[in-house]
Structure 1
Amino acid sequence: MRILNNIITAGLLCVSIFTYGQHNTMTTQTVKISGNCGMCKKTIEKAGNSADSKVDWNEDNQTANVSFDASKTSLDVVLKNIALAGYDNEKYLAPATTYAQLHGCCQYERTLSAPPANPENTPESKEESTGSSSVAKAGNFQVIYDQYFQLKDALVASDRKTVATGAAKLASLLTTLKSTDLTAAEQQAWKTQAIAITQYTKTLQEAENLAKQRVAFVSLSEEVYKLAKSSKPTLLVYQQKCPMFNDGKGATWLSLNKDIKNPYYGAQMLTCGSTIQTIQ
C-alpha cells in the first residue's frame, strides 16, 4: 500500500511540474483589435483561442489581452487568425471581402493600419534606393486575391451557384483595374496575366456543372499564383496541391489557411493534399 501511495505521489508531482512548466511558457500581451459589439467579441475570441492561446477582448477600449504559449505559437499567428475572421488589428488587416461579410452591427470603422514587419525591407524602400522593384505591393490586386479565396471556399463547399456568382464578381472587378493606377511592376504582371485570368473567370461563370468549374479553377489558380509571386498579397498565402485531381496529374490552389480544405473534391476528400509553398 505504501508503494502504491508513493507511486501516486510521484505521479502527481510530475503532473504539477509539467503544468507549472506549461504555465511558465505563457506570455501575455495587450494589443489593439477593432470591433463593435458582443458578437464581435465572440468572433474575435473564437478566432484567436486555441490549445496554445487565449484571447480576452474588451469592447470598451478596443484592446485584447492575448496569452499564448511562446514555445508553440506566436502573437503573429493569433493576430493573423483574427484578421482572417474579419477584424483589423495592430499587425494585420482583414481581407476586404471578409470584412464586408460581417454582420452590419459588426462592421466597425476601419481606422487601423498594419505596419510592415520590417520597414527597411519593404518594396517601397527598395524602390527608393534602387529606382525599381521586382516585387510590387499587393495594392490594386488585393481585391482579386480576396475574390479568388471566396471562389475557393465555394468550391470546397461544392456550391456551384456561389462559384458562378463569385466568378461574375471577379470578372466585374477585373474591368475596374486601370493601368494608370498600377505600379510599374504591377503593370508588367497584369499585362502578362490579364487575358488568361479573364478567360478562366468567364469559363467558371459559364460552366454547366461543378466538375467543369473545378477544371477551370485549376487554370485560374495557376494564373493567380503567378500574379501573387510578382505582387504579393497582404497576408501569408499557402500554395497547396491535391495529388489525385486531373487523372493523377495533380492540381494546385492558393489558401489563406495552412489546414487543407480541398476545392477539387470538397467533402468527398476534404483533407487530401499538402502545402508545397508559402508566399510572403
Structure 2
Amino acid sequence: MKRRVRSLISMSLVAGSLMMYSCGDSKKEKDDAVSHEDHEMHENSDHTHSEKTMAAATAEFENEVVKKAFNQYLEVKDALVQTDAEAAAEAAKELQASLEENNPEIAVIAGNIAAEKDVNKQREIFSELTAAMDPVLKQEISSGKIYKQFCPMAFEGKGDYWYSTSEEIRNPYFGDKMLKCGRVDETIE
C-alpha cells in the first residue's frame, strides 16, 4: 500500500513538473500579468470587446478582405480566451460572411464554429481555422507583426497554434484555466 502511495505521489510530482515546465511562467511574466490585469480592471467599460481587438491589431495587409478577416479571427480567439461560446459563435458568423466570396473554404470552417454551442468543440474547430488562415496571412501581410503562438498542452499534449498581435500569451485553447500557457513560435512580418 505504501508503495502505491509513493508511486502515486511520484507520478503526480512528475506530471506537475512537466506541466510547470511546459507552461511555466517566469517571475517577470507573472508580474507583467498582474500589471496587465490591473490595467484591464481600470479600462473604460464603454469600449466593446471587438473595439479592443481591432485597436490591438498592428498588422496591415495588402487586401482589405484579409485585414477584416484577421480582425474577426482575433475576435473569435479573444472570445475563446474568455471561454465565451456565444461571442465566439457571433464573431465566427461575421468572419464567415466576410469570406464567403473570396475564400469559401475558410468561410465553411468559420461557419462550423458559428454553428457550434460547445466551447470545447469550437476550440477544436478554431485549430482548423488557424491552420487555414496561415498561408493567407503570410502571403498578404504588408507591414507590422503577427505572432504565431503555440501551446504544448492543447489537445491532450499534442499542442496547437493560434495568431495574436501581441507577444503576450492569452491561450484560446484553455482560457483562464491556463491563460498564459504557450510561447511565440514565429513572428510573421
TM range (shorter): 0.5 to 0.7
Partner of 1:243: 152
Partner Cα separation in structure 2 for residue 150 and residue 233 of structure 1: 21
1:155 and 2:64 matched:
no
Partner Cα separation in structure 2 for residue 140 and residue 169 of structure 1: 12
The structure whose residues are more often helix, as a share, is 2
1:247-269 per-residue CA deviation (whole Å, 9 max, x = no partner) reads 21111000011000000000000
**Tell me, what secondary structure is at the counterpart of 2:171?**
coil
Indicate conservation of the 8 Å contact 2:53/2:75, yes or no: no
1:134-171 per-residue CA deviation (whole Å, 9 max, x = no partner) reads xx824431000010001111100001100011111111
1:146 and 2:71 matched:
yes
Indicate conservation of the 8 Å contact 1:238/1:254, yes or no: yes
Partner of 1:128: none
Q: 1:199 aligns with which of 90, 108, 119?
A: 108
Partner Cα separation in structure 2 for residue 250 and residue 261 of structure 1: 15
1:214 and 2:139 matched:
no
Cα distance change on mapping 1:99 and 1:267 into 2, 3 Å: closer
Indicate conservation of the 8 Å contact 1:142/1:234, yes or no: no
Give the AA of the match of 1:266: G
How high is the TM-score relative to the length of structure 1? 0.45
Partner of 1:111: none
Indicate conservation of the 8 Å contact 1:154/1:163, yes or no: yes
Indicate conservation of the 8 Å contact 1:241/1:252, yes or no: yes
Partner Cα separation in structure 2 for residue 225 and residue 215 of structure 1: 16
Gaps of 5+ in 1: 1-50, 52-84, 86-96, 103-115, 117-135, 178-193
Cα distance change on mapping 1:255 and 1:171 into 2, 3 Å: same
- Superposition pairs of residues 1-280 of structure 1, within 5 angstroms: 98=51, 137-175=62-100, 177=102, 194-232=103-141, 234-280=143-189
CA RMSD of aligned residues (A): 2.6
Partner Cα separation in structure 2 for residue 168 and residue 224 of structure 1: 16
Cα distance change on mapping 1:100 and 1:241 into 2, 3 Å: closer
Cα distance change on mapping 1:197 and 1:215 into 2, 3 Å: same
**Tell me, what secondary structure is at the counterpart of 1:165?**
helix
Partner Cα separation in structure 1 for residue 118 and residue 93 of structure 2: 16
More relative contact order in 1 or in 2 (CA 8 Å, sep 6+)? 2
**Tell me, what secondary structure is at the counterpart of 1:272?**
coil
Partner Cα separation in structure 1 for residue 142 and residue 94 of structure 2: 19
**Tell me, what secondary structure is at the counterpart of 2:70?**
helix
1:79-103 per-residue CA deviation (whole Å, 9 max, x = no partner) reads xxxxxx9xxxxxxxxxxx638989x
Indicate conservation of the 8 Å contact 2:127/2:160, yes or no: yes
Indicate conservation of the 8 Å contact 1:138/1:233, yes or no: no
